[in-house]
Structure 1
Amino acid sequence: MDLALFKHLSNARILVVGDVMLDRYWHGDSGRISPEAPVPIVKVSKFEDKAGGAANVAKNIARLDGKVGLLGLIGEDESGQILENILADERIDSQLVSVCDLPTISKMRVISRHQQVVRLDLEEMFTQQHSQLLLNRLELVLDQYDFVLFSDYNKGSLSLIQQMITMAKKAGKTVLIDPKSSDLNLYRGADYITPNLNEFKLAGGKTDSEKNLTESARQLIKDAGVAAMLLTRSEQGMSLISANEKHDFAAQQLEVSDVTGAGDTVIATLAVMLGAGMKPKDAVEIANLAAGIAVSKLGAATVSPEELSRKLGQYLQKTGEHYQTPFDDVLQHIEFAKQNGETIVFTNGCFDILHAGHVRYLAQAKARGDRLVVGLNNDESITRLKGPERPINPLDERAMVLSALASVDWVIPFGSLDENDTPAKLIEQISPDILVKGGDYTVDQIAGAEHVLRHGGKVEVLEFLNGCSTSKVISKIKA
């Protein structure tokens, strides 16, 4: 597996087409039964709106740094507007088509004490006339993408999917499909389909033995004119099956918290990895790891490149290869983590020669929250602060070393002249929950502390390990 391709996730240009939905969650406590009917009363205290259906697939792609567009149908209503606003925040190029006669598909879940009390669905089936609108828009935007991913939830948006596939293949695009119909002939011409075990059986697949499973899968894709099937098999992992090959991948997560949206994560990861230039077998191997991460979380979770990188390191038993988030993407990754409710910790420094004091300090900083961001003085800033012989190691090398530490999630440079060699402006951009500084500073001396405190965050000062300093290391080397 060539992990160097992992650095090219943003090369993936993927258009998701399908049934988009707005997932709404109302959370609250329930301590009594209604006097009007034998149902619980839920006192709602929290509201959440999330991208669902095909929009969740696009969200998964965006969070893996793929360039993604989304084509789907919404109503001319508040739910449609909310969904478009969510997509804009997720860096998804929204190509949603509004129809005046039907509502945006919405699913509202009332949650109490981690249990779903009721789900309310607002939806009507879209017709071929509506699907024609998507087909027309597809023709206009197709040239902007290399991959087309169809996410079928059987809501009518893809009534004309055969014409859409034909159009995409004529344009030379790779086509992936998360199918809903048991008639796989609808997906003729696709490069990959990703049914789950139940969908496979409904389509005529046999599961009584491994031999029959393989033979029936090959017969199904042959009859349907599909190149390959990625069969997701729950606790049995997944299998990539084509006319001449079969590769099995064991499940990576034994303790499952929630399988919601796992199929979305699988096909999204597969598309991004293929778009980054990976071979199909390697792309599926990583999609399988992504599924293991996703099902360990609650709800329709997404997976980040950083999480995948760590999982890959464990899986391949390689410690020398890891993913360093491109500097330009760090702020967006931090925002994604905030949307997940994760606590962001920030610290900063030169970290010119990494020593034991740094390692302990960064581990202590990470222990304060979920994600640690390290602001790193750029080379010019260090020269101004430390003298013309510094830095010893240039920015990219210092960032690489820091990113390899388990305690560090993101590294981002600062230190331009207008920043006065302090991370104050960067801290204002990130607005961390916790600001950590090492040494004998008082809070009022720490750059960015006022902003963090003003926005409800915390500022902590940690002690450095005695006897450890970069200057001492350099002096000892010179001696």
Structure 2
Amino acid sequence: MKLDFSKAKILVIGDVMLDQYWSGSTQRISPEAPVPVVKVQDDETRLGGAANVALNLKALGANVELAAVIGDDEAGILVKQLLDKQNIMTHFHFGEQPTIRKLRILSRHQQLIRMDFEEPLLAKTAESFADNISNIVKNFDLVLFSDYAKGSLTAIQKMIQACNSAGVQSFIDPKGDCYQKYSGATLIKPNQSEFCQIAGQFQDTAELTTKAQELIQSLQLKHLLVTRSEEGMALFTPEQEPYFLATQAQDVYDVTGAGDTVIATIGAAYANGYSLKDALHFANIAAGIVVAKVGTATASLAELSDKLHLSQRHQGYVAPSKQELKELVQQAQQQGKKVVFTNGCFDILHSGHVRYLDEAAKQGDKLIIAVNSDESVQQLKGPTRPIVPLQSRMELLASLSCVDWVIPFSEETPRDLICYLEPNVLVKGGDYQPHEIAGCDCVWDKGGKVEILSFWDGFSTTQIVERIQTSIAEEQNDEN
């Protein structure tokens, strides 16, 4: 998939800050207090807050501009210079307060302390800023609000209304305990802690869904996205099933700015015509790239494209238990995917098997293969079978590009497994009638389909074994 986020115009509005990093070695404890002494060897300045969101969008190749309130001071000059260096156009409103600075002291890639330099933004400054920016939102395809509760978005409701009047999408990364100011937005993206602060604690996904839909209704939102750290993301839309996206395993060095990356990637993708579900998938990968870096960082379009390519490479999975496979099936079905089930011995894997499985996979989005255990193969095929043991057969099947999940079964038929997993499509090869297929009743009861596929002529494990035996016998006769 070739990604392109350059077509739409995006405006980022929010709290801008300057992130400073002083880093060096730590080899002793101070004699003045029980704290480490850092010998500063490096001094780095980066864009933070809404400016980092804009920087993330720029790194993704998006057409982005930034609106914010900053101070008429040295830090504000540095912010402007860093943005100019990235060719990001700015719409700055200069307030009486100094530009926000955050100074982090690090040693060996670990943050030891953070010092914040900031003063509250005057209400009249925030109102004036909102008045000015409301006049330009009509020039953009999407407005992305980055709220760090520093005051720039005190009058955000005025800007949301301007977006709605102009037919412009508005995405919000929220902050604080008052969400009424976000009413009417297209999407808001609280993390789970922020969501619970507003909607209350929940015990399971059903209660989470109920609370999310109530919040959507009260704020008149089109979408609510809850980011759940290691549990992934949950997208809620009125009158639709929730969409749950699992996070990707990733070495984490620093989560600073990961939320900026998520909202920036979602905004960039959605504004440029990708579906919201695809946008979440891209954001999930981009966040994984960023947390592997130290400090406020971005994911480039090249990095995202490369990771996306790697994620799309096939990695079939041999499920360790039917319970775990059940969870994977349910997750896929919640995402609107159609799960296909087939079964067999697959003793000596040959091209007939591959062609059949490829055809089976085309009946849906995810393919499960249930494989007969060694004992059941022996009962079906005789005492000399299987030729290839169960674990090896499953690993071979999992390596096929058309196969997603492989699981063994030892019963006479896989009916119990089919009824437990509840696939959308049951596929069998051969001269059967649908009602003769084990498990067909369970599939039909759930509104699924049963498909009969033809085996490819000229391919048979038994024939292969017989030819091998004949060849060995002929070689022995020649030697004699």
| Both structures adopt the same fold (TM-score exceeding 0.5) | yes
Distance 1:61 1:122 in 2: 26
Distance 1:43 1:154 in 2: 33
Distance 1:116 1:256 in 2: 14
Matched residue, 1:69? 65
3-state SS in 1 of match to 2:152? coil
Matched residue, 1:334? none
Residue 127 of structure 2 is aligned to residue 132 of structure 1:
yes
Residue 225 of structure 2 is aligned to residue 230 of structure 1:
yes
What is the deviation of 1:69?
Answer: 0.9
Distance 1:221 1:183 in 2: 14
3-state SS in 2 of match to 1:57? helix
Matched residue, 1:299? 295
Residue 67 of structure 2 is aligned to residue 79 of structure 1:
no
Work out whether residues 126 and 151 of structure 2, in 8 Å CA contact, stay in contact via their aligned partners in 1.
yes
Work out whether residues 245 and 281 of structure 2, in 8 Å CA contact, stay in contact via their aligned partners in 1.
yes
**TM-score (norm. length: structure 1):** 0.63
Work out whether residues 253 and 296 of structure 1, in 8 Å CA contact, stay in contact via their aligned partners in 2.
no
Residue 123 of structure 2 is aligned to residue 123 of structure 1:
no
What is the deviation of 1:256?
Answer: 2.4
Work out whether residues 206 and 216 of structure 1, in 8 Å CA contact, stay in contact via their aligned partners in 2.
no
Match of 2:55 among 52, 56, 59: 59
3-state SS in 1 of match to 2:136? helix
Residue 163 of structure 2 is aligned to residue 195 of structure 1:
no
Work out whether residues 257 and 298 of structure 1, in 8 Å CA contact, stay in contact via their aligned partners in 2.
yes
Match of 2:283 among 281, 287, 301: 287
Residue 172 of structure 2 is aligned to residue 177 of structure 1:
yes
Matched residue, 1:21? 17
Work out whether residues 24 and 106 of structure 2, in 8 Å CA contact, stay in contact via their aligned partners in 1.
yes
Structure (1 or 2) with the larger CA radius of gyration: 2
1:191-236 deviations in Å (ceiling 9; x for gaps): 0101101001001144311100011101111111111111111111
CA RMSD in angstroms comes to 1.8
1:353-391 deviations in Å (ceiling 9; x for gaps): xxxxxxxxxxxxxxxxxxxxxxxxxxxxxxxxxxxxxxx
Matched residue, 1:340? none
Amino acid at match of 1:233: R
Match of 2:108 among 110, 113, 123: 113
Work out whether residues 150 and 178 of structure 1, in 8 Å CA contact, stay in contact via their aligned partners in 2.
yes
What is the deviation of 1:36?
Answer: 4.6
Work out whether residues 109 and 294 of structure 2, in 8 Å CA contact, stay in contact via their aligned partners in 1.
no
Task: Give the gaps of 5 or more residues in structure 2.
Answer: 316-480
Distance 1:254 1:109 in 2: 24
Matched residue, 2:212? 217
Cα distance, 1:39–1:288 mapped onto 2, change above 3 Å: closer
What is the deviation of 1:20?
Answer: 0.4
What does 1:356-375 align with in structure 2 at a 5 Å threshold? Answer: none
What is the deviation of 1:41?
Answer: 3.2
Match of 1:252 among 232, 248, 255: 248
3-state SS in 2 of match to 1:79? helix
Amino acid at match of 1:104: T
Work out whether residues 8 and 272 of structure 2, in 8 Å CA contact, stay in contact via their aligned partners in 1.
yes
Distance 1:318 1:136 in 2: 51
Residue 168 of structure 2 is aligned to residue 168 of structure 1:
no
Distance 1:232 1:199 in 2: 10
State the percentage of identical aligned residues: 44
Distance 1:84 1:164 in 2: 23
Matched residue, 1:428? none
**TM-score (norm. length: structure 2):** 0.63
Distance 2:35 2:303 in 1: 41
Task: Give the gaps of 5 or more residues in structure 1.
Answer: 320-479
Matched residue, 1:93? 89
Distance 1:242 1:205 in 2: 19
What does 1:323-472 align with in structure 2 at a 5 Å threshold? Answer: none
What is the deviation of 1:12?
Answer: 2.5
Matched residue, 1:264? 260
Between 1:275-284 and 1:152-161, the stretch displaced more is 275-284
Matched residue, 1:426? none
1:61-98 deviations in Å (ceiling 9; x for gaps): 00001011111111111011011111111221121211
Distance 1:69 1:175 in 2: 15
Distance 1:95 1:186 in 2: 22
What is the deviation of 1:297?
Answer: 2.3
Matched residue, 1:144? 139
What is the deviation of 1:154?
Answer: 0.6
Matched residue, 1:153? 148
Distance 1:206 1:35 in 2: 45
Work out whether residues 184 and 220 of structure 1, in 8 Å CA contact, stay in contact via their aligned partners in 2.
no
Distance 2:61 2:314 in 1: 23
Work out whether residues 8 and 63 of structure 2, in 8 Å CA contact, stay in contact via their aligned partners in 1.
yes
